[in-house]
Structures are given as structure tokens and as C-alpha cells.
Amino acid sequence: MPTVVMIDGAVERQLLALEPRACDFRVFDVADPVAAWAVLPGLPVERLLLAGTAAGPALLPLLRSALGYDPAVQELLGFLRQRFLPDGAVPPVPARVAPAVRSFALGAPGDPVAPGLFPGRVTKLARLALAAQGGYPAEAVRAAAEHAYDGGRPYHAHDALACALVHPGVDGVALAARHEGSSRGWKSRRKTARVLAWARRESYLPPPVTCECRHERFRPPRERWEAFRLTGAWSRARPLLELVEELAWGQAVHRCVRCGRYWREDVLSSGHADLSYGYPLDAWTPTAP
């Protein structure tokens, strides 16, 4: 839970020294709103907006007033106060505050930050907002997302993938297909799945092709434990499949009667029994003459 920091004096000095990473762990508030209001209107927009991302109940309305009644700026402030991934779509960045948002981004999608390497919440949201309106070159964003999970990277750059999915010049469908079939650790893959689910929920990605066999949810196993997990999916999909070719050692190829997708059946020995499992195939060529 964030630590509440009460600014009892020197409001200007403390807000001018505020950094994006501090907004992850602290909520800033004021004990004397009258004294704070004497200072806030003279602060730069960048400082007002950043302080607003972590402001408590007494400070927040003062900052909103100091920023002025601009619905677009107020909407962006609400967005930057959220967690990553945010609730809802990404709002536009008004030109008036664009330099401030770029300063919060601390670089491009996927870039490590100092100190600590990992970008904070406000930094990731700022990158997302800039990417959504094409604020970074499309090719650079696409490349960052393609290599977001390469070995040797400082961190797994989920922010780079999210930025590519909202960027108007990047093919998000191809990136989703690339990363959904990854063999990374389950924690990283789970976070990637959340990014993709968010993008589909907010219509940055089209919904996956759906069929009762649920072929879009499964990939060929790379490890033995992944094959074990597919046994349950196979039992649910099997009633919808028709046999098209029997292979050796209990293996076979089936086809879904609803969507026409091919499935490969295989056998896994558990030591006590042979378990059947299956997975969808991208393509299939008959082996029988």
C-alpha cells in the first residue's frame, strides 16, 4: 500500500523535486490547502501534472484547478493516475502537456530507466499515451515489441508490447501471434496474456477467431508438463473432431467439423497409463498415398 506523505511546508521545493518513480510508492497530500494554493498556480505544468498522478484528497482538487478547466488535460490526468494496464482506452495527449508527458516517459517503449531499470507506473502510462497517438516512430516501436522478451534484456518489456498494440502504424495482430506462442516462464507469459486481453477488450486488437474447439487458445507443447496440461483441452475438443488420418504409435490427425482446423493427436506415457493429448496445427499435408 502506498505511503502517505504530508507536505507541511516547502510545497514548491518538494513538488519540483518529485520524480515519476516516487509516484509508484507514495501518495502526496497537504496539511494546509490554503498555503499550498498560494504556490501551486506558479508551478510548471509538468510539475502540476506529475504531482496529480499521486495526489491525495486534499491536494488533488488544488492541482486540477491549477491545471485549468481543460477537459482533455483533466482526462489525461485521470488516466495517468491509474495502474498499468489502465481501465479503458488511452486518451489523447493535448499539445499543451505533450512535453510534460514525454518527460515522464524517460525514453521510448522498452527502454530501461535509471535507477532500477524497470519503468514505473507513470512512465509506462506516459509511453502508452504517446504511442497511441503515434508519438514514436512505428518501426522503432514494432522492433521494441518484437524483442521485448529477448534473453539478456534488462527486463521483460511488457510496456513495449502494449505500446505497439496501440500504435496506429504497427500491425498488432502479427505481434500478438508472435508472443502468444512463447515458451517463456509462466509469470512472464501471464503478464503478456494480460496485455493482449486488455488490447482486445479495448478494441486495439480484434477478437480471436472463436470456435467451440477453442483452437486459438492452444499451441504445440515444448515441454512434457505442457503436454500434460493439454490432456484436458483434448477431452473437450475431441467430440468436435473427425479422424482424417491415423499415424504410427497412437498418433493421428483430426479436423474440427465446425471450423475445419486440423488437430494432431499424440500419446504421453505417465508411467502407469498412456494419456492422449492434442493440439491445433497451422497446416497439414497428408502422408498417406
Q: What is the DSSP string of 230-288?
A: HHHHHHHHGGGEEEEEE-STT-EEEEETTT--EEEEEEEE-SSSEEEEEEE-S------
Q: Looking at residue 209, what is its pLDDT?
A: 64
Q: What single string gives the DSSP state of each residue in 2-32?
A: PEEEEE-S-HHHHHHT--GGGGGTEEEEES-
Q: Looking at residue 229, what is its pLDDT?
A: 81
Q: Looking at residue 71, what is its pLDDT?
A: 95
Question: Which positions of the chain have pLDDT values less than 50?
Answer: 289
Q: Can you tell me the distance from the alpha carbon of 33 to that of 45, in angstroms, rounded to the nearest whole number? A: 19
In the block, which residue shows the cell 500500500?
Answer: 1
Q: Can you tell me the distance from the alpha carbon of 113 to that of 108, in angstroms, rounded to the nearest whole number? A: 10
26-30 and 3-7 beta bridge pairing: parallel
Q: Looking at residue 189, what is its pLDDT?
A: 85
Q: Per the confidence metrics, is the pTM higher than 0.95?
A: no
Q: Looking at residue 165, what is its pLDDT?
A: 96
Label residue 115 exposed, middle or buried (CB < 10 Å: 0-12, 13-18, 19+).
exposed
Q: pLDDT tens across 81-134, in order?
A: 999 999 989 999 999 999 999 999 999 999 999 877 899 999 999 999 999 999
